[in-house]
Structure 1
Amino acid sequence: MNGDGSVLPASMTRAVDAIRGSAATLDVVVLAGSAPASGSRTPECDTVMTLKGVNSCTTWTLTTAADGNDSRVNTDIRKAEFVYFAGGDQCRYTAWKGTALEASVESVVAKGGGSGGGSAGHHVNGSIVYDACRGSVTSREALADPYDPYITFTTDMFTWPNYAGVINDSHFVTRDRMGRTMAFVARALKDGLTPGGAAWGVGVEEGGGSLFVDRNGLATEYGKDAYVVLGDHAPEQADPGKPLTFSNYKIWRLGPGATFDFKNRPVCGYYRRSVTNGVADARLYSGAPETNCGSPNGSSLNESEPNDSRGTADDATVLERSVDDGAGTDESLALTRTASGTGAYCIDMEAYSGSGTAAYSCGITKN
């Protein structure tokens, strides 16, 4: 997934090699919503065809939603092992939701192939797509009103394994898009677009930035920086016509060669930034990583005694969280123990600010 429309040979070569395995070659299909304004009519294929292990590369330029049901297009996609969405207009791509094309691309991944793209093509590979169908929004505008009319989403067009709950963004640092990604994350949480009370933004820088995610969910950054932005609690203020307030986003900065495990998402190594009344903290793109974050799920925890009460307990990781935030909406979570033996679990229940004083009950079931 690239920060601009260009194919990065290093990450694309890795994708080709990972998919083809011991096979000699594979086939690639490029999907574009419009033809390039100048230069080659097939710039992505021009690069792809220079790579070892590629048998063919076919570009389809589709300009209407109905093109997603073209039988020739879908035949080519289903025969391919990799589908690349070109840069352009992600609103044209989300118009293919529900067409045969959506199912065809999913079939490529299901058989062990891959999907990716650059710029708009990066956007469309997230489970929540900022589709820009009403126009593009800046960080300043999004933070001033996270319900700005230009902020529209298409959900669940593609939800790839290990990559759920993610909103992608591109041209990230150059066009100063951290602020709007923060707003997108807040909206996803407030509108209940992601499960488990957490939403993730993934921004990749232009000019050679590329994030390769393998079949096990392990991501490796190439070329330029990428950023992973986590919102893991309800925003303090995210309402139409009001500036955003959201404390303590957790942000991972991934330099070239850095990795991020999307299957077992890290609980440490981030820095924190907040937004208050529409104004984001300074230095959004760098910070000292926190290292004292507790122990990741499944790892060992160095105990100190006494630790048998909440006040004296050792700092550990939040294992599950539910933040549905809706009148009359039940919260629920499930936890499967990963180790035998004795141990205590703490459940923290809090009323959302402004929710009133209504009575509630809590039930726990052991399976």
Structure 2
Amino acid sequence: MNNKNYFIVASLLLGFSLSHTAYACTSTESEPNDLESQANVIDCANTTLAGSSKRGDIDWFSFSTSENGEISIRLDHDSRDDFDWALFGETGNAILTGETSNVPELGSITAAAGNYYVKVTRYSGRGWYDLTVNYPTEPTPPAEDCGYGFTPAIPSDLTYWQTGNANDACGALTSGQGATLLMGGGTDVDSAFTGRVLPHIGNNQDVVILRTSGSDGYNDYLSGLLNADSVNTLLVDSRTLANSDYVAWTIKSAEFVFIAGGDQADYLNQWHNTQLQDALQHVYDKGGVIGGTSAGMALLGGSVYDPDGILGAISDEVVTDFCHDTINISQGMFSNNLLANTLTDTHFAERDRLARSVVFLGHLAAGSNVIAADENTSLYVKSNGESLVDGSGAVYIFKETATTERQQLSCNAPVIYNNIERLKLIANQQINLNTGSHNGETLSVSIDGTSNRYYSPLNPY
């Protein structure tokens, strides 16, 4: 390309490169191309060709359009020269020409899809020229990502924040070896992300944050901790969005999905029995990690405390009536055999939720348990049942044993519930949820709702 015309062509290319509908290409005329049958093929729309002309020289170029639309041609050359161009269809005379003394020679026409030819001729002078041809073409589809197909269109009403690469990183996971991260709310546990999630999924993988309110607070945080290829926060606050192909595609493509704090009742209302639920399950089944904090953790048990349209359950209140109107338990939306008979609770010691968790246990089927976590505390559950604690607080697991007495678990009556096993685990301790083996501390606790001091022992934590 002639240096004298560099600024003009560079400006053209910059304009083309900013477009989302086509890419700019550059090429050089190649002789022989004096005949139509020898035409240089233009491979992409928005092509600028650097050529030269002299006495008796004719240069032919050809291109094909796949759609109806505008064809535009521009011919730049030295102001002392006079070069012309003509556009032809497959047969017949020229359908458009640029045969003035103008520099550049410009022209455009709306034409049908088909094969076309451009002929460049010399009227006077000799030297360089730059021929720019632009024609309609089908948009280049996004790259097909890791077996999930093309990226679907983003819903116009979806609020999202994306950090990093928009394409799928195609992580190498092992099917059937998914893991679950249960986090009790409050300050997040950095070591759970760096010491548990990162070794499982590896570097440069895709992370999705799900929520129905809030903003992008996790993007930079997890992008750094997990050396992520991308972190995409999706604010999915309607069932329409939860059923959108884009939301499902984005979740399925991820290696780690983390559900932020919020309102688990809202999550159930908007996400249960939708494509989002199926996509979440897909990530776990393919070997990824599903996690959540606060309401996000509450969503991950086989049973979910569901305060839909009611006030949150408080220990002081629920011990007075086994069927207190703040108690509502729904089926969960995440299938994990290790948590199938589990209800999860959060912000545990900080909000004195032990009594309410025990009352929840009384409402569950035989053989169930409640797993509760303090703030800044997490339990990482592997597919083999091995479950490890991180953070500054404790994880508690409640279950009935052979000595448990369900003395008074009836509506409109105070709770009297004796000898429930409480297991307490702190950082670096663990339990295997398959075998029950652990290195934590057990305690037998009872609840007597007829008394203001309803715990036995008085400090069951």
Say whether the fold is shared (TM-score over 0.5). Answer: yes
The partner residue of 1:89 within 263, 271, 287 is 263
Alpha-carbon distance, 1:161 to partner: 3.1
Matches of 2:345 and 2:285, distance apart in 1: 25
Does 1:8 pair with 2:8?
Answer: no
Flag the structure with larger Rg. 2
Q: Residue 351 of structure 2 aligns to a residue in which SS?
A: coil
Paired position in structure 2 for 1:33: 212
CA contact (8 A) 1:34 1:63 kept: yes
Does 1:217 pair with 2:385?
Answer: yes
Paired position in structure 2 for 1:148: 324
The partner residue of 1:103 within 278, 302, 319 is 278
Paired position in structure 1 for 2:343: 167
Does 1:71 pair with 2:227?
Answer: no
Matches of 1:90 and 1:185, distance apart in 2: 18
> Counterpart of 1:19 in structure 2: which amino acid?
H
CA contact (8 A) 2:319 2:448 kept: no
> Counterpart of 2:433 in structure 1: which amino acid?
F
Q: What's the C-alpha RMSD, in Å, of the aligned pairs?
A: 1.9
Q: Residue 349 of structure 2 aligns to a residue in which SS?
A: coil
Paired position in structure 2 for 1:262: 433
Paired position in structure 2 for 1:241: 412
Paired position in structure 2 for 1:292: none
Q: Work out the number of aligned pairs and report it.
A: 271
Paired position in structure 2 for 1:205: 374
Matches within 5 A, 1:309-320: none
> Counterpart of 1:26 in structure 2: which amino acid?
Q
Q: Residue 236 of structure 1 aligns to a residue in which SS?
A: strand
Paired position in structure 2 for 1:273: 445
Which runs of 5 or more residues in structure 2 are unaligned? 1-181
Paired position in structure 1 for 2:421: 250
In structure 2, relative to structure 1, the CA distance for the partners of 1:114 and 1:248 (3 Å cut) is same
Question: Which protein is richer in strand relative to its size?
Answer: 2
The partner residue of 1:19 within 178, 200, 214 is 200
Matches of 2:233 and 2:400, distance apart in 1: 37
Paired position in structure 1 for 2:289: 114
Normalised to the residue count of structure 2, the TM-score between the two structures is 0.56
CA contact (8 A) 1:19 1:81 kept: no
Matches of 2:198 and 2:431, distance apart in 1: 20
In structure 2, relative to structure 1, the CA distance for the partners of 1:159 and 1:234 (3 Å cut) is farther
Paired position in structure 1 for 2:43: none
Q: Residue 50 of structure 1 aligns to a residue in which SS?
A: helix
CA contact (8 A) 1:230 1:249 kept: yes
Which runs of 5 or more residues in structure 1 are unaligned? 36-40, 287-367
TM superposition outliers: structure 1 runs of 4+ over 3 Å: 266-269, 282-286
CA contact (8 A) 2:446 2:457 kept: no
> Counterpart of 2:225 in structure 1: which amino acid?
L
Tell which has more relative contact order, 1 or 2 (C-alpha 8 A, sep 6+): 1
CA contact (8 A) 1:16 1:53 kept: no
Tell which deviates more after alignment, 273-282 or 26-35.
273-282
Alpha-carbon distance, 1:163 to partner: 2.0
Matches of 1:242 and 1:100, distance apart in 2: 42
